């Protein structure tokens, strides 16, 4: 059943014309796939490639807003700062993740 859902948009309609005659019937699923691939590539560049090339580390930390909502902020830790605090790295991480929702 799941394979049918993936393949069905690419099957040519019986009248050989899609819903929008000037555009090919397979254009909509191709654009959807292209958007998903672009999103995956964007994430890979942002999370994997850029930190490796420019030698920094993305460190998530949680902040509590005035209304009690917990949000996660991402900060950059440069390689120089990482070397300077390498002995304190684990304690730094524990401090950043120790904030919880305030009631």
Domain assignment present for residue 4? The answer is no
Residues 42, 82: one domain? no
Residues 80, 39: one domain? no
Q: What is the pLDDT of residue 45?
A: 93
Q: What is the pLDDT of residue 21?
A: 84
Q: What is the pLDDT of residue 30?
A: 93
Instruction: Give the pTM.
Output: 0.62
Residues 71, 101: one domain? yes
Domain assignment present for residue 11? The answer is no
Domain assignment present for residue 36? The answer is yes
Domain that holds residue 93: 55-103
Residues 63, 31: one domain? no
State how many domains the chain has.
2
Q: What is the pLDDT of residue 41?
A: 97
Apex 64 CA angle, 49 and 59, nearest 5: 20
Cα torsion angle, 74, 43, 32, 22, sign: positive
Rounded to whole angstroms, how far apart are CA atoms 9 and 3?
A: 11
Which residues make Cβ contacts (< 8 Å) with residue 74, sequence separation at least 6? 58, 59, 60, 61
Rounded to whole angstroms, how far apart are CA atoms 30 and 36?
A: 10
pLDDT digits (tens, 9 = 90+) for 25-84: 889 899 999 999 999 999 999 889 998 888 888 888 899 989 989 998 888 777 655 555
Rounded to whole angstroms, how far apart are CA atoms 103 and 99?
A: 12
């Amino acid at each position: 059943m799941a394979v049918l859902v993936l393949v069905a948009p690419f099957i040519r309609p019986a009248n050989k014309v899609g819903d929008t005659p000037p555009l090919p019937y397979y254009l909509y699923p191709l654009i959807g796939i292209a958007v998903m691939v672009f999103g995956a590539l964007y994430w890979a560049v942002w999370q994997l490639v850029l930190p490796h090339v420019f030698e920094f580390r993305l460190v998530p930390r949680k902040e509590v807003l005035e209304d009690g909502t917990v949000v996660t902020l991402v900060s950059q830790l440069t390689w120089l700062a990482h070397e300077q605090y390498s002995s304190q790295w684990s304690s730094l991480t524990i401090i950043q993740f120790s904030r919880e929702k305030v009631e």
